[in-house]
Amino acid sequence: MLALTAANLFTPIERIDRPLLLVDDGMVVEVTSRLSRAVPGGARLVDFGDSVLAPGFVDIHIHGGGGHDVMEADSGALPAVEALIARHGVSSYFPTTVTASVENIVAALDRLATAIEAYGDGRRGGLRAQPLGIHLEGPFISHPRRGVHPPELLLQPSFKIFEDFWQAARGHIKLMTVAPDLPGSQELIAEAVKRGICVSLGHSDADFKTARNAVAAGARHATHTFNAMRPLSHREPGIIGEVLTDSRLTADFIADGIHVDPAIVKLLWQTKGPDRSVLITDAISATGMGDGRYPLGSLEVEVKDGKCMSNGKLAGSVLTMDQAIRNLMRFADCSLQQALRPATLNPARVTGAAEGKGLLAAGAAADIVVLSPTGELRQTIIGGYGL
């Protein structure tokens, strides 16, 4: 058994000073304080000094990293992505597809499902983040708000094509971005929800009423809020108005200072609050690399000075989750404990597929990050591995 201690621990809901975190066989056994509990006999004590212990980060929207894209056929792609994001505190993630031909999406979903089913305890090939489920972003998105998704490959919602995707993914699609302004979207949303998928509104030109109808059909989340959405207007609030005002919706956003102005990040934080805000990276293969040209699905993206562009449009990011947390602290003037929740517990709860993730409590996975008091990452532990 391992006994971990530090200056503080954020569960993230609760703060514990001088914590004692007991870990055995990759699981959290007990979370308490050294003020009330002695270190068990025979346990190996690891003291992280002035550090903060927190749950490993959960990224529900990520396309790649370390020079690789999650849709690649290369067997080394996912391990490279998983190793990179683990070095930035991510212990669990949802590999995210982009619009491609139906054949290419089906093939990618099959590979990702195999990777999810084959994942061990984090020890295979070193410290690596665990894929928990698939985020299907596209092809059911609108032309006016498609971003860099190839226009010729966008599709109207189709039960047949959705069923093909579902079968290829063997039930591992846990999050799906849908534009509610497309014909047939309400029916598709309802069907996806029946199958346990969290439907996220995004890449959409929907007006306020249409977006609200999608929520009534079962949608419960919003994809990279403000980006690839009809702009907010004081007379026609549109999809953003629905996202900001409906308490049934959680909302994710890219806090890189490029996709959304810091003032808008603060507005979103004040509107959705620490309970319904979710940090994502939307990271592409260029993450962790230098300037240059990198793949995003079938697209080529040029990266310069941290900005990812394709055909004059933003195309993902090179943001890491540890940096996103520090940015949120600065942009929204919030504490480290507050900023951790949108990167841990909230994304784990959004999909419903991350049981035992995003929270440090007895029975949870021993996915732990060791941070400085100001949020710099010092160490990542996944399933107890890394100590």
- Tell me which residue of 116, 119, 113, 127 sits closest to 80, measured CA to CA: 127
Residue that has been written with the tokens 């990452």 in this structure: 377
Burial of 304 by CB count in 10 Å (0-12 exposed, 13-18 middle, 19+ buried)? exposed
Prior bond of 157 cis (ω within 30°): no
Beta partners for residue 280, in sequence order: 254
Burial of 47 by CB count in 10 Å (0-12 exposed, 13-18 middle, 19+ buried)? exposed
- Tell how strand 8-10 and strand 52-55 pair up: parallel
Q: Round to whole Å and give the CA distance between 215 and 248.
A: 8
Q: Round to whole Å and give the CA distance between 266 and 329.
A: 10
How many CA atoms within 13 Å lie on the side-chain side of 362? 5
The CA angle 223-227-228, to the nearest 5 degrees, is 85
Check 205, 282, 322, 367 and give the catalytic one: 282
For 173, list phi and psi in degrees, rounded to 5: -75, 115
Contact (CB, 8 A) for 331 and 266: yes
Burial of 161 by CB count in 10 Å (0-12 exposed, 13-18 middle, 19+ buried)? middle
Is 282 catalytic? The answer is yes
Joined together, the tokens standing for residue 57 give: 């980060």
Q: Which residues are catalytic, by number?
A: 282
